[in-house]
Amino acid sequence: LLPLVSWGSLNRIQADRAFAQALVAKNTLEQRVTAMTQAIQKYSRGDVYFRTFGALQLAQFQDVLQKKPDGEERQKQLRGLAQDSIIGTRQSTVLNPKSAANWQALASVYQQLAPFVEGSEDESVKALEELRKIEPNNPVHATDLASIYIGRADRESAVGEKADKTKVSNNQIDAEKFLDQALKLDQGFAPAHFQMAIIEERRGKLPQAIARVEKLAKETPNDLPLAIQLGALYLKNNQAD
């Protein structure tokens, strides 16, 4: 005789099967979302399920953004997909608040939706702060926070003459603070040095920025984007290649 399976166990088995279908890349995005929805309906306590659902909703958001013509229907669909992506990913942090992957996913979702959903960037900062509590020795998270503040400073500077110089300076100071923290954790962490070079360049300290990027370029000679960035700094400083 086959062993009896509890109703809860049967639901979990069915949920896992649906989840597996949601991960099959050859399936269409709509098929993967449908499978992920079925998985959650069968088992609503899986944080990975909700995190994956949020990621798929974000992928749908990006797909509609790129392919669908602008209009009221498109805007309505985008709002719904953005909301579902946020709700799904945030639920993963509720179900398992100690998972770094869940907070990383939430920070990423908010950051990608920042141009479209008001307040998303602030929520991304909060998620990264939670992530730092879980992984206090990981320099990546402080560096990611720094990039947000650099972006804020750059957006304010882009206003031109009407830019609030104090706001620009404060955001750069905040970014520098996070980068200092990242480099205390790992003095050789290249992304933090690169971000620091960006701040130095924005402040007009081109020799310092060039020296920092030159050092990075020597350590990673095959990094084409880094070489391009170094070339741009040379041009700005009127240096020969």
What whole-number distance in Å separates Cα of residue 58 and Cα of residue 105? 11
The 3-state DSSP class for residue 10 equals helix
3-state secondary structure of 240: coil
The one-digit pLDDT tens for each residue of the chain (241 residues) are 445 444 456 777 888 888 888 888 788 899 999 999 999 998 888 999 999 999 999 999 999 999 988 999 999 999 999 999 999 999 999 999 999 999 999 999 999 999 999 999 999 999 999 999 999 999 999 999 999 999 999 999 999 999 999 999 999 999 999 999 999 999 999 999 999 999 999 999 999 999 999 999 998 888 888 899 899 999 988 864 4
Return the SS3 of 94: helix
For the segment 132-187, what is each residue's pLDDT rounded down to a tens digit? 999 999 999 999 999 999 999 999 999 999 999 999 999 999 999 999 999 999 99
- pLDDT computed for residue 8 by the predictor: 54
Residue 200 · residue 213 · CB < 8 Å = no
Give the torsion sign (CA, 139, 143, 144, 145). positive
The count of C-alpha atoms lying within 13 angstroms of the C-alpha of 229, restricted to the half-sphere facing its C-beta, is: 20
Taking the CA atoms of the chain, what radius of gyration do you get in angstroms? 22
pTM for this prediction:
0.87
**Residues 44 and 75 sit within 8 Å (Cβ to Cβ):** no
Calculate the alpha carbon distances from 35 to 32, 42, 226 in Å.
5, 11, 41
Of 139, 138, 109, the closest CA to residue 126 belongs to 109
